Structure 1
Amino acid sequence: MTLDLMSVLVMTTLVVNVCGILFIVETLLRRDEGAGNVWALAFLAGMLTTLAYALWAQTPDAWWAIAVGNAAFVASTGCMWLGCRRFNGRRTGWGTALVAAAVLVAGGAVAIAGPEGGDWAGALGMFIPLIAFAAAGCIECLRGELQESRTAWVLAAVLGLQALFYVSRTTAFIASGPDSDLFLSAFGMVSTGFLTVTLTIVAVVVTSVLRATRAPMRGSLLSRAPGATHEGIVVEGVFADELRDLCERATWRSELVSVIAVRVEDLEQISTAFGTEVARTVTETWRTGVRRYAPSNALVADDGPMGLLVSVLVESPIHARRVAGVIYRGLFEDLGRVGGGVIPVVGVGVALSDASGYDSEALMRVAREAATRAATSVETSVLVGHDE
Structure 2
Amino acid sequence: MIDATTVLIMSGLLTVVCAVIFVLNSAFGRQDAVGLFWSAGLLFAIGSSMSFAVFGLDPSMGWANAAGNAMLAIGMGCVWLGIRSFNGRRLRMWIVFGAGAIIFVASLLDSPFGNEWAGAPVSWLGIIAFTAMAAVECFSRRLSGRLNGRILAVVVGTEAVFYSGRFIVFLTSGAQSSAFQVWFGTATTTGLAILLVVAGTLAISILRIERTNTYIESGLYAEPGFSHVGVLDWPHFTTGGADRVSRAKNHGMSSGVVIVTIDSLGDINTAFGKDVGDRAVQILADVLRDTMPPTAIIGRESAGTFGVVTTMADPAEAEDTIARLHNALVESAFDSRANLRLTVSVGVATGATTEAGWQKLFDLATQRRDEAEARGGNLVLDGRE
TM-score by length of 2: 0.83
Q: Does 2:106 correspond to 1:109?
A: yes
**What's the CA shift for 1:257?**
1.9
Q: Does 2:232 correspond to 1:201?
A: no
> SS at 2:192's partner residue?
helix
Pairing partner for 1:285 from 283, 291, 301: 283
Gaps of 5+ in 1: none
- Distance change >3 Å, CA 78–CA 60, structure 1 → 2: same
CA contact (8 A) 1:84 1:141 kept: yes
**What's the CA shift for 1:316?**
4.1
Q: Give me the whole-angstrom Cα distance separating, in 2, the residues matched to 1:214 and 1:354.
A: 37
Calculate percent identity across the aligned residue pairs: 28
Pairing partner for 2:157 from 151, 157, 160: 160
The more displaced of 250-259 and 179-188 is 250-259
* Counterpart residue identity of residue 308, structure 1: F
Q: Give me the whole-angstrom Cα distance separating, in 2, the residues matched to 1:345 and 1:128.
A: 45
Deviations 1:222-249 (A, max 9, x none): 9976545644311111112111211221
- Distance change >3 Å, CA 205–CA 252, structure 1 → 2: farther
Per the alignment, residue 47 of structure 1 pairs with 46
Deviations 1:298-342 (A, max 9, x none): 111120222111111134443223323322332243135536334
**What's the CA shift for 1:47?**
2.2
> SS at 2:316's partner residue?
helix
Q: Does 2:297 correspond to 1:299?
A: yes
> SS at 2:333's partner residue?
helix
* Counterpart residue identity of residue 298, structure 1: A
Per the alignment, residue 329 of structure 1 pairs with 327
Aligned counterparts, 1:229-308, within 5 A? 230-308=228-306
Aligned counterparts, 1:71-82, within 5 A? 71-82=70-81
**What's the CA shift for 1:33?**
5.5
Q: Give me the whole-angstrom Cα distance separating, in 2, the residues matched to 1:354 and 1:231.
A: 31
Per the alignment, residue 27 of structure 2 pairs with 28
Q: Give me the whole-angstrom Cα distance separating, in 1, the residues matched to 2:128 and 2:211.
A: 28
CA contact (8 A) 1:30 1:218 kept: no
- Distance change >3 Å, CA 162–CA 225, structure 1 → 2: same
**What's the CA shift for 1:108?**
2.0
* Counterpart residue identity of residue 245, structure 1: D
* Counterpart residue identity of residue 43, structure 1: L
Q: Give me the whole-angstrom Cα distance separating, in 2, the residues matched to 1:42 and 1:310.
A: 34
Gaps of 5+ in 2: none
Deviations 1:50-77 (A, max 9, x none): 2222333444444332122111011112
Deviations 1:242-272 (A, max 9, x none): 1121122123234322221121243333333
CA contact (8 A) 1:144 1:369 kept: no
Per the alignment, residue 8 of structure 2 pairs with 9
* Counterpart residue identity of residue 305, structure 1: A
Per the alignment, residue 117 of structure 2 pairs with 120
- Distance change >3 Å, CA 372–CA 91, structure 1 → 2: closer
> SS at 2:310's partner residue?
strand
**What's the CA shift for 1:49?**
1.6
TM-score by length of 1: 0.82
Per the alignment, residue 375 of structure 1 pairs with 373
* Counterpart residue identity of residue 107, structure 1: F
CA contact (8 A) 2:254 2:312 kept: yes
Higher relative contact order (CA 8 A, sep 6+): 1
Per the alignment, residue 361 of structure 2 pairs with 363
**What's the CA shift for 1:143?**
5.0
Structure 1 stretches (4+) deviating beyond 6 angstroms? 216-225
Per the alignment, residue 38 of structure 1 pairs with 37
CA contact (8 A) 2:12 2:50 kept: yes
CA contact (8 A) 2:34 2:83 kept: yes
